[in-house]
Structure 1
Amino acid sequence: MTRHSSHTEKHYTERSGWLRAAVLGANDGIISVTSLVIGIAASGASAQTLLVSCIAGLISGAVSMAAGEYISVKSQQDIEQADLKMEAHELHHNPDQELKELTKIYVQRGLEPSLAVEVAKQLTAHDALQAHARDEIGIFEQTLAKPLQAAFSSAFSFSVGAVCPLLAILIFPAHWVQIGVGSVGIISLGVLGALASYVGGNSVWKGALRVVVWGILAMLFSFWVGSLFDVDVH
């Protein structure tokens, strides 16, 4: 009986697809909608106007994030599929040349020439396209582009992030809304940055600080722009 027969490792790169989209969406949801609310509040708008603006920002932002992420990741997927199609064509028409190419890759990675030839032959016999996709092109199954997953992750996480300023508007009294929204936004960004860094295997403090600093800068800029307009919108 082997003690380590069921040993498996979960690497952080396996999370890169959905994690990047989710973090980007949540971060954008908090920063953009919070900054929007703070900017409008600085102009003298009413609490009702802030609430409507926040909801509009949540809906439009979630749709925009989903569409943008889908198009971006779909383009990446199209490139991957085009490369795989090209490689499949070469494997069919020039198998010997492709075998030499794979062997050369393994030699460059440190294998002895004789061993590199044997490894290339065995991997080619097992799954030639997979071997070339992984070792020649750099396409791995764990990091394949998934447009729908990325789009859903971005839209959902943006909405979750945008709910933070929305709840702050509903909870805090009118004269405290601006400070409340800003405070909730900063705390939310800190938690998000720490969580994303933890899931990604990095320092939670560095991740939190990085997100919070950029978020505060965005809020301050929005506040400054909003303060230029002395408008009371009802």
Structure 2
Amino acid sequence: MPAEHHHHHESHRSHHAGWLRAAVLGANDGLISTGSLVLGMATAQATPATILLSGLAGLVAGALSMAAGEYVSVSSQSDAEEADIRIERAALEQHPEAELQELTQIYIHRGLEPALARQVAEQLTAHDDLAAHLRDEVGIHEVQRARPVQAAMASAGAFTLGALPPVLLAWLWSGPGLATVVVASSLVLLAVLGYVAERVAGGGGIKGALRVLLWGSLAQAATALIGWLFGVNVG
């Protein structure tokens, strides 16, 4: 009876590293910076309209800043990758035998016998020489290629989602105690975000929550202190 063949697929965490980093960074930044801004304005006894306007301005400016920064940063990485691709393509056209030998040496250093390494190098070269060299010589993998637009959109979207809770509170909370509500809700959301981010990355979650809580608490304490020290009605 023929053996059954089962398709086995492994989902590796590192395949999601690019968008995960941008999303976590954006959400953290949105929640911490906008929440701290609203908190600082509230402790400075600003009017509700001024607090809301400050939160909205922080949300829009922060989202655009995150998108621009991420796009420029990842574009630089993409430019470097494109330069390496041009170099490898030219080398393969001008020195094919030397490039084949270089690929063979890479596989020998990884533990293959010389004859087998040569055979593997020849077969991979025949299949897709450029892809083989980019992957095994340069270290450029398709799943980890730089994608500036995707990174920019993820950062801006995540920042906006992170900044929305304090802005909505500034809009909807009409009574006293806005500062307390912003602090409590922001810390809870930061803990959840840190926990989920580490779990998605393959960790336990607790350390991620504590890391985000620490920096979020420091940011909120600093802005609350500034607002309390000035204590000026800026409305």
TM-score (norm 2): 0.95
Structure 2 residue identity aligned to 1:197? E
Residue in 2 aligned with 1:163?
164
CA contact (8 A) 2:74 2:148 kept: yes
Residue in 2 aligned with 1:57?
58
Gaps of 5+ in 1: none
Bigger drift between 201-210 and 40-49 goes to 40-49
Residue in 2 aligned with 1:45?
46
Is residue 18 of structure 2 the alignment partner of residue 21 of structure 1? no
Structure 2 residue identity aligned to 1:79? A
In 2, the alpha carbon distance for the partners of 1:76 and 1:213 equals 31
CA contact (8 A) 1:164 1:188 kept: no
* 1:232–1:152 Cα change, 3 Å: same
* 1:216–1:91 Cα change, 3 Å: same
* 1:32–1:3 Cα change, 3 Å: farther
CA contact (8 A) 1:13 1:142 kept: no
Is residue 203 of structure 2 the alignment partner of residue 202 of structure 1? yes
CA contact (8 A) 1:47 1:174 kept: no
TM-score (norm 1): 0.96
Residue in 2 aligned with 1:82?
83
- CA deviation digits over 1:155-174, x for unaligned, max 9? 11100000011122234344
Residue in 1 aligned with 2:154?
153
Is residue 173 of structure 2 the alignment partner of residue 172 of structure 1? yes
Residue in 2 aligned with 1:92?
93
- CA deviation digits over 1:31-53, x for unaligned, max 9? 11011111222222122211111
In 2, the alpha carbon distance for the partners of 1:2 and 1:62 equals 55
Residue in 1 aligned with 2:186?
185
CA contact (8 A) 1:74 1:146 kept: yes
Bigger drift between 155-164 and 168-177 goes to 168-177
Is residue 223 of structure 2 the alignment partner of residue 222 of structure 1? yes
C-alpha displacement of 1:3: 4.5
CA contact (8 A) 1:189 1:215 kept: yes
In 2, the alpha carbon distance for the partners of 1:70 and 1:47 equals 34
* Percentage of identical aligned residues: 50
Is residue 173 of structure 2 the alignment partner of residue 138 of structure 1? no
C-alpha displacement of 1:230: 2.3
Gaps of 5+ in 2: none
In 2, the alpha carbon distance for the partners of 1:23 and 1:83 equals 29
Residue in 2 aligned with 1:9?
10
Structure 2 residue identity aligned to 1:226? G
Structure 2 residue identity aligned to 1:76? Q
Residue in 1 aligned with 2:108?
107
Q: How many residues align?
A: 234
In 2, the alpha carbon distance for the partners of 1:146 and 1:153 equals 11
Q: Helix, strand or coil: the match of 2:6? A: coil
Q: CA RMSD in A?
A: 1.4
Q: Helix, strand or coil: the match of 2:11? A: coil
C-alpha displacement of 1:150: 0.5
In 2, the alpha carbon distance for the partners of 1:143 and 1:207 equals 23
Bigger drift between 124-133 and 222-231 goes to 222-231
In 2, the alpha carbon distance for the partners of 1:202 and 1:84 equals 34
